[in-house]
Chains A and B, each alone.
Chain A
């Protein structure tokens, strides 16, 4: 049967359902590979060997007694360490939560369990999802399987690296400003941010509540769609969850046909600051879509120029409030409780010791933006920009079915390159942020390697809220065409570890 870790999730699911491979076998193959290569990648913060094998065995037993298995039953997955899983350490990449084992499952985890998905462990991330490189993890950086000296993207860098390193066929990430799409792009895999409200946030440790959304990583568009479908849907525990049918993403991925679609290229998401190889591969992919029967037009979204500024006010503001609860009282780290120190001192010392520099920076920034006297100029104005960006999207989607752009302006940069320059780091999210602000859905699909550095380039597809199926239709069409051209998925050409 060959190496089980090289197969797609769809194929693994089929093998397990038919009994040609057992879930335990599949799980063990991935655990073995983690043992072999994760030391050099550091995608995982915690590997739940026992729990994974138990879950896999349960799938095998279910099959034996003839219970119907879903398409992902027995398929292994890496879970970003920002989602709670009962009894399993959840750190959010932060020292402040070291050792915390949540007493409850997130809705995403509950749905994964129901689908029979085997959770291998918790994936590394930038602390509290703040970052674009996973260098902000308190537990050390994750490395890009294409080049171990480079970043795997972030904040879901552990998730993207696990999938790209073949230590998991699937992973869950979260995307607040691009944290699924940018790591997918720089690791040469598929990543999708569902429509805000499409996937429950219950149990997702909040960074920026109005922007956060969990979504799938996979090596193929169909695999991503299968995972998307497994975790999406209305959840009464999340007030912002949309009570509507999940868009038909799997059918769309199988359809893989862009004939008759109108595709808009966003004029503002190109030019200065974009690596030339990124622009080259992007232009070729757009050309390919055109050749596949899509009508391609240029579209202008003038307010996208203000998206990053708005994002770096809204996200830190919400974060400053969301992260207040890490106060040493009910869970997590406590520093300085010597019996005489007052509660305020213990809180302040704990937070100073437990949070890393980027988290502190954003908490201070958010605290400032929400302060009396500054609120209107900063937070209030940012919320208005949000309206303008939504209007730009509305106008664009009146003309086209989807919008496209590069996912990130550059390929994976070397570890350490931007750690001292927060603003340079923030530019990584230039193209991805508008969809978060508007609550739309978007996806990154690999479209080739940049000629100058041989690293993966991603193309971003953006669609209106609850039109997630369009992402999968376009993404799958592109993937199929590129695969026909090269004979394999881009990630299959990554250097062996």
Chain B
């Protein structure tokens, strides 16, 4: 099943990547090739094999509910492309919160 340009465009939208037509076309081809190579994971991934999400056998790593020092507002905003009134200034939000 080949990956189409439209599918890549949908993924690019989800990933907030403004790809041009040439990139979409090239990406579709490359994605196809890569997926063709990686799809073989399903050959051995049978139902009786549990998945591993973490490479360490740890559980319940928790911290006590203790307040630690914060950044100063100057530090917090130091990398901001735009700031105003101690806040991060961002372009207008057109879509609503999911």
Q: What string of 1s and 0s marks CB contacts (under 8 Å) between A329-348 and chain B? A: 11111100100011111111
| A351-398 CB contacts (< 8 Å) to partner B | 351-352, 355, 360-361, 363-365, 367-368, 371, 377-378, 380-388, 390
Chain A residue nearest to B24 (CB atoms) is A364
Query: How many A-B Cβ pairs are below 8 Å?
Result: 182
Question: CB-CB < 8 A to B51: which residues of A?
Answer: 380, 383-384, 386-387
Give complex CA distance A382, B42 in Å: 8
In this complex, how many residues of chain A approach chain B with their Cβ under 8 Å: the count is 70
**A388 touching B76 by the CB < 8 A rule?**
no
**A330 touching B43 by the CB < 8 A rule?**
no
Give complex CA distance A100, B81 in Å: 10
Q: Does B67 contact A (CB under 8 A)?
A: no
Interface SS, B side: loop
Q: Does B2 contact A (CB under 8 A)?
A: no
**A330 touching B79 by the CB < 8 A rule?**
yes
| A215-239 CB contacts (< 8 Å) to partner B | 236, 239
Partner of B52, one of A101, A308, A383, A436: A383
Give complex CA distance A382, B44 in Å: 10
Question: CB-CB < 8 A to B37: which residues of A?
Answer: 308-309, 312, 423
Interface SS, A side: helix
Contacts A352-B18, A371-B11 known; A361 to B30 CB distance under 8 Å? yes
**Whole-angstrom distance from the CB of B28 to the nearest CB of chain A?**
9
Question: CB-CB < 8 A to A383: which residues of B?
Answer: 51-53
**A240 touching B56 by the CB < 8 A rule?**
yes
Interface centre among B51, B71, B80 (most CB of A within 10 A): B51
| A interface list, Cβ under 8 A from B | 100-104, 196-197, 210-211, 236, 239-240, 242, 303, 306, 308-310, 312-313, 320, 324, 327-334, 337, 341-349, 351-352, 355, 360-361, 363-365, 367-368, 371, 377-378, 380-388, 390, 422-423, 436-439, 465
A-B contact pairs, 25 of them (CB 8 A): A103-B75, A236-B63, A240-B55, A240-B61, A242-B56, A328-B81, A329-B81, A332-B79, A337-B91, A351-B17, A363-B17, A364-B12, A364-B31, A365-B34, A367-B11, A383-B51, A383-B52, A384-B50, A384-B51, A387-B51, A387-B52, A388-B49, A437-B55, A439-B56, A465-B56
